Amino acid sequence: MTKKKSTSKRATHQRAGVPAEFTDAARGIRLQKALADAGVSSRREAEQMIAEGRITVNKQLITALPAFVDPSDDIIRLDGKPIHKIVDTKANERKVCIMLNKPRHCICTSDDPQGRRTVLDLVQYDNMPRLFPVGRLDAESTGLLLLTNDGDLAQELTHPSYGVPKTYQVSIRGHLEQKDIDTLTRGLVLAHRGPRGSKIKRAHATEVKLLHYGRGSSGDRTNLSITLREGQNREIRRLLAAIGFKVRRLERMSIGPLQLKGIASSEWRMLTEREIRQLHKAAKQAKAQTQAIAEGKIVPQIETVTKAPKQRVARTDNKPTARGARKVTRKKAPVRSDASASRGTTAPSRAAKTTPVKTDSKPAQRVTKKVTRKKVTKRTPNQVSTKPVARRGAQSTGRKKASTRKVSGKAAPRGKRRG
């Protein structure tokens, strides 16, 4: 009994709404992807156009999916107009560039099959052209993101041959030391997964600045600023993970000369013509510098000088408290060299007012004040004082009158008893 050889043939049978010649996957790419790549619409919009019967390929109507086409040979029409003419019409459309402050848990894509929120959901206005993000930020990252319909500008800002600098503010767990900074600036070898498979590429930071050290309930924290010229997929997170640090927060602060200022999270604004010209100029300058480095004309400045964070230092007595303030010097308390010091008595505190004591070879003697008391004579009842007595409350100056009192009609001196 002979076994029949199993032959795997691609499905080429006729399906409703799809001619047989467009059912072979070896023909090319999917029809909706070809429409999206041509800039006609997004893939979801293209699928809706196909279902509505607006798309023809080589004058054959296609109303179902999947359908595969070869964009270089097949003639694709939308509402009877070839795609290349539609693309030319879109080229004459006004170029728009939007700056968005991307929040967390937001996807940098035009559409998401899982139904998650995208950055285009945050930007909606009347007669809005088809926009796409310039570069990417992962779902957990925040900060500056550009949306545009200008392909040339997007190419200049994202292609590695230009090397436009992008600055990020990063918060990590742990204490970053100088050796770790040197490792980041020298670079590490990371695996990069691209459309043609995985590649081994070297990634490094152009500049690293330490901003702040702190210690919280969860341990040490370090805030730093990192500048990159070639942004690979999750490059900063993978660089820091390679040297043993976990990223807590990552925010993009600038792209070239464009700074993230005055825009709250999830808000956006249009870029001015001047800002767009500055981006083009910065891209040209960065490309010239990148080419000069590749040709060996200049040395790449990757070993940047790091800026140490300002630490709180305890005040000293001779340090001025403000700019232009006079230096205050405090005298040290004198040290007693007497018998009490040898017995282990402590010196008075600074708060108490002390007077300097002269040190002498002789021990200090206690100074006592001599108090002299008046001699009091005891009087007898028969003795009469002839000295006048001042009244209570009278003035101490001037002539004093003797106080008298009447005794049987006569003025008797004070102190004499009645008979």
| 138 annotated active-site | yes
Q: Buried b / exposed e across 190-214, counting CB within 10 Å, b at 16+?
A: bebeeeeeeeeeebbbbbbbbeebe
Closest to 28 measured CA to CA, from 80, 60, 62, 72 = 72
Closest to 205 measured CA to CA, from 279, 300, 307 = 300
Catalytic option among 24, 121, 138, 152 = 138
**Sign of CA pseudo-dihedral 30, 33, 39, 45:** positive
What number of other Cβ atoms are within 10 A of residue 273's Cβ?
10
- The Cα 217–Cα 84 span in angstroms is 60
DSSP H stretches of helix in 358-398? none
- 243, 183 contact by CB (below 8 A): yes
- The Cα 353–Cα 348 span in angstroms is 9
DSSP H stretches of helix in 159-234? 178-186
DSSP H stretches of helix in 108-233? 151-158, 178-186
Catalytic residues: 138
